[in-house]
Amino acid sequence: MKRKTVAVLFGGQSEEYEISLQSAHSIIESLDSEKYLVIPLGITRDGRWLKYDGDIDRIRDDSWSESDFCAPAVISPDRYTHGILVSDGDRTTTLPLDAAFPVLHGKNGEDGSVQGLLSIAGIPCVGCGILSSALCMDKDAAHKLVRAAGVKTPDAVVLDAPASDSELADRTSSLRYPLFVKPVNAGSSFGITKIENPSELAEAARLAFRYDRKAIIEEAIDGFEVGCAVLGNETLTVGEVDEIELSHGFFDYADKYTNRTSKIHMPARIDADTASRIKRAAAVIYRALDCRGFARVDMFLTSGNEIVFNEVNTIPGFTYQSRYPNMLKGIGMTFAQIADRLIELATEES
């Protein structure tokens, strides 16, 4: 069988550059070299695209872009090229691709932008498409669609523009404290504040508007956070449910990537019936948001055992320690099998 050439895109101009490097390292390392010719394609923090041919450990320690193994390279939107244009001194060479795996988080990576470029180029892309990626980045749009599909979401109001103190008080008068104030489009807990009383509202809203032009203010859900890994296009594979045990206010950036003060339980400490309800809800949400390939669906389980939707991560953290692969390991898939299956799912459609 002919090897497939697959570009793994990593880095990117997002706050989540670092975690992307760690995920890409694990994915590149685990892909079967007899089956795939992997082309690491890095995007630096300042937005330069470089094809990287060096040791993959230098991706993990973020010294890859300073090495001699980089050449300027871009994915061409030209369908005839169907791949990467690499600058080699004063020559440009083409490198056709069978698929691309964007291991990018946040803006321009997880929001439909890169998916759009790959779609114009006609290159099969691992994971969710343009619409689904964009919807899942927008906490307001995602909540509306998930609600329409019959899954509960936190009571919330959305601000389309910064508001005066009195407007803020007015708009939030029906919500019960504590509240979460968040940018509508962001990730990794950036710009999010949990507030206990109205005196903190204006400052929290200001912070959220630093990250996006819209803010969402939600009632805090009293319960704990559960996640579910979903994989597939038409037929879905649903992983085990996991649970985040928090030792303070919420799951912030430091917790997510260091597990400093929070603990992940996989499987979650819940009964079998609750676990199957969560898995069913995850599948409903995945369909409602038009997901394909893979996604991690994050929900809350209230003290009354009710499931409330939080968000979908269309390119979740993907290191050997990450929640997404661990939940699928819970049903017997290895990390390498998951990565392999994702490329198959992307290419079977083309």
Ligand X SMILES: Nc1ncnc2c1ncn2[C@@H]1O[C@H](COP(=O)(O)OP(=O)(O)O)[C@@H](O)[C@H]1O
For ligand X, which residue of 76, 113, 310, 319 counts as binding (CB under 6 A)?
Answer: 310
- 15: number of Cβ within 10 Å: 18
For ligand X, which residue of 250, 267, 284, 330 counts as binding (CB under 6 A)?
Answer: 250
Place of tokens 């050449």: 71
Instruction: Identify residue 273 by its one-letter amino acid code.
Output: D
Nearest approach in angstroms of CB 182 to ligand X is 6
Number of residues that bind ligand X (CB under 6 A): 17
Nearer to ligand X, 70 or 220 (CB): 220
Nearer to ligand X, 323 or 329 (CB): 323
Nearer to ligand X, 40 or 316 (CB): 316
Q: How far, in Å, CA of 213 to CA of 184, rounded?
A: 8
Nearest approach in angstroms of CB 282 to ligand X is 15
Helix axes 272-288, 139-148, angle to 10 degrees: 110
Q: Are strands 83-88 and 70-75 parallel, antiparallel or unpaired?
A: antiparallel
Segment 174 to 233, residues that bind ligand X, using CB under 6 A: 180, 182, 186-189, 192, 218, 220-221, 225
Instruction: Identify residue 279 by its one-letter amino acid code.
Output: K
| Residues 324/314, Cβ–Cβ less than 8 Å | no
Nearest approach in angstroms of CB 190 to ligand X is 6
Instruction: Identify residue 50 by its one-letter amino acid code.
Output: L
Q: Is 251 in the site for ligand X (CB under 6 A)?
A: yes
* 155 burial level (CB within 10 Å; 0-12, 13-18, 19+): middle
Binding mask 259-298 for ligand X (x = CB under 6 A): ---------------------------------------x
Please state, in angstroms and as integers, the Cα–Cα distance from residue 38 to each residue in 32, 41, 52, 209, 212, following that order.
9, 9, 10, 39, 35
Nearest approach in angstroms of CB 179 to ligand X is 8
Nearest approach in angstroms of CB 246 to ligand X is 6
DSSP 199: G
Please state, in angstroms and as integers, the Cα–Cα distance from residue 296 to each residue in 74, 236, 292, following that order.
29, 13, 11
3-state SS assignment for residue 169:
helix
Nearest approach in angstroms of CB 186 to ligand X is 6
Q: Is 309 in the site for ligand X (CB under 6 A)?
A: no
Nearer to ligand X, 110 or 240 (CB): 110
Q: Is 138 in the site for ligand X (CB under 6 A)?
A: no
List residues binding ligand X (CB under 6 A).
154, 180, 182, 186-189, 192, 218, 220-221, 225, 250-251, 298, 310-311
